[in-house]
Amino acid sequence: MIRLIRLIRLIRRKPGARLSASALLTVCALSACEPPPTENAGSGAGRVTRDRLLATDTVPAEWLTSGRDFGETRYSPLGRIHVMNAVAVGLAWEYEWRSHVGSVHWGLEATPVVVDGVMYSPGPWGSVAALDAATGEPVWRHDPDVDPSYTRKGCCGPVNRGLEVWEGRVYIGTFDGWLVALDALTGEEVWRADTFIDRSLSYTSTGSPQVAGDVVVLGNAGGDFGVRGYITAYDLDTGEEAWRFFTVPGDPAAGFEHPEMEAAASTWDPDSAWEGGLGGTVWGEMAYDPVLDLLYVGTGNSYPYPIWRRSPSGGDNLYLVSILAIDPKAGRLVWHYQTVPGEIWDYTATQNIILSTVTIDSRPRDVLLQAPKNGFFYVLDRATGELLQAEDFVTVTWAHGIDPVTGRPIPNPAADYRDEPRVVFPSSAGGHNWQPMSFNPETGIAYIPAREQAMLWRSLDEFNHRPEVAYEGFTASWPPFPEEFAHLAEGLPDIGPNEFLLAWDPVAGRELWRVPRGSMWNGGTLVTGGNLVIQGTAVGTLDFHQADTGERIHSIHLGSGVMAGPMTYEVDGVQYIAVMAGYGGPRGSAYPLGSAAYDYESTGRLLVFRLDGGEVPLPPAQVVPTTPEPPDLALDAARIRRGAELFGVHCRICHRASDEHLSAYPDLRRMDGGAWESFDAVVLGGALAVNGMAGFGDLLSMEDATAIRHYLTSEQRRLWEAESAAGTAPDGR
């Protein structure tokens, strides 16, 4: 009884709040009402086990992994909410996911997990909130101690894409590279492991850990900045390192860490750009087959992108943009499939992997499904890696198709930008990016947040690897292209960007239907037994579609853009649908006209819905900034040009405001007098590091900062003069 009272006190309740029956039973089971499962190594909460994961369809109320089941299908058999009553869905409760670090609303990109009436929600930096899944009342929250200036090392903000709950523990990676095991009952830290091999480099961790047998595995991000990809496995109970698998070789002169690296080195030039790490980072979702005991890993893009800079004599460059099947006991490679040998377009294979069974040639096949950036939908035998099907699901011009015998792409020479600029489909954003697709194993249909967009690629004359500087050796442009290159798109399909929700038959390799979504970054998908496909959008809605036809049944106005994938679960006979809303992450720091974040503050929220729920409270209205009178500075044209270049390299990745976009970060073209006075102290000295604005004094000189000052002042003067002429400047002129 004493233990029960202590457990209830740990669940910090608001006065008058009601503990859901499932959550109460969980608390009861953890005290003395019934003994906890013997296989549970932790406190008794978060009781996810191998047997339970294999039986998810018999207990559909739970959502035990980021993708619900071991196959990560993001399909739920629940059907209390269906096409006939979805119009009655409204808000049940919300949780404001305010970051504990810095002053920016960071994007939310993960899918929560629900186990025995408790929701475990990941947040920015690697935070975790445990909540009563029926009421939203907090159980506990864990916020890692992360230096906010670490944001400088990442491409896309301190986002997090998932956690694992397993046998009483919650496993999550922090943005600065620690794998943390938390007690699922209390949120107390059990152990932590440093996953980075070199903290002087721009490694970050944004992906979800993956439990695979007796280990938990985590990868890392940072390939665009020049790091070497790898994954590391840790003992579930102690955090002791079990093995590490590199995805690309290091300099052969230093030897090879494991046999696979010696084999991979033969596919690289002996004089490759080893000092740049070469890329291949694992930042997306992995998957694990507990029957075959195989861990499936998708690897990332090259560094630098142009192969003539990183591996001058060419080669496949294993194991870039590949799907790897790894024995989790030994950490050894069982098979691999490379989607783009010798890739040069940032076509990662880190998009979510789904495991299922489909019928091919009248017999069931256990398969792996992936729709990576390169625009082809792959169906592989997950025991052997044999290619069973690969068809383009969006416009593709980098290849003429996939050879069904060799499994290799048929290259299109017109996509090679070594000697001249080229326009290529898909863009580096991909035909499908990290926002997860879903798959209904009952119907055999996949639902993809797809994108059609071309990209203009140009090779630079030089490549000089500089740590903490991204995207070296090339330049690329999103549509619309600069006027002098517009002719390169003549005769091509619509260069976009165009997004759409796509229903795809993987076995037949054909599209069933599509729903246009505009040009912005929309969310992942959920498919349910109620014949529903659910997706959040950039314009700030949660849309319910009929899964067999694509017809929109219901749309809920959120006021917050959505990039994450929704999920659904059931507590006490009530079905809930949850989604993390809050724009941010890759490309998400720029809010285009028409997006929800352009109209409302991009407050991060976890929103949960049910039948007969209420309206969603809207965030505060976005304040469109006006331009203060610029400082009196004698501008120098050469400094303006140099400042524009430096700003593009070091600053624009976060401060993406433009005439057409707002930004999650301060618009540096509209600084007031106080900001200008502290400009050098902030940019060079890191005076605002506590808010996530790291100093760049090790990369920029005082003259560089002066050049950036000239560029920003010229932009501020242009804006102020235009607003003054229109009568919208702050002083009313």
Report the catalytic residues. 346
The closest alpha carbon to 561, from 533, 522, 592, belongs to 522
Quickly list DSSP for 588-603.
TTEEETTSHHHHB---
Cβ-proximal residues to 145 (8 Å cutoff; 6+ apart), any chain? none
Buried b / exposed e over 313-331, threshold 16 CB at 10 Å, is: eebbbbbbbbbbbbbbeeb
Question: How far lies 16's CA from each of 12, 94, 118, in Å?
Answer: 12, 18, 19
Separation between Cα atoms, residue 631 and residue 707, nearest integer Å: 15
**Residue whose pair of structure tokens reads 């401060």 in the numeric block:** 655
SS (H, E, C) 685-730: CCCCHHHCCCCCCCCCCHHHHHHHHHHHHHHHHHHHHHHHHHCCCC
Cβ-proximal residues to 447 (8 Å cutoff; 6+ apart), any chain? 437, 438, 439, 440, 501, 502, 503, 504, 525, 527, 533, 535, 547
Q: In this structure, what token pair is assigned to residue 99?
A: 């970051």
| Element housing 359 (H / E) | strand 354-360
Side-chain half-sphere of 13: how many Cα atoms within 13 Å? 14
Quickly list DSSP for 231-277.
EEEEETTT--EEEEEESS---GGG--SSHHHHHHHTTS-TT--GGG-
The closest alpha carbon to 325, from 412, 264, 397, 386, belongs to 386
Q: How many CB atoms lie within 10 A of CB 481?
A: 18
Residue type, position 350, single letter: T
Contact in structure between 427 and 457 (CB atoms under 8 Å):
no
Cβ-proximal residues to 307 (8 Å cutoff; 6+ apart), any chain? 314, 315, 317, 342, 343, 344
Whether the bond between 319 and the residue before it is cis, its omega within 30 degrees of 0, is yes
Strand partners, 661: 592
Show the CA angle centred on residue 386, arms to residues 286 and 400, nearest 5°: 95
Separation between Cα atoms, residue 611 and residue 334, nearest integer Å: 47
Residues in the chain: 733
Separation between Cα atoms, residue 246 and residue 299, nearest integer Å: 10
**Residue whose pair of structure tokens reads 């996530």 in the numeric block:** 692
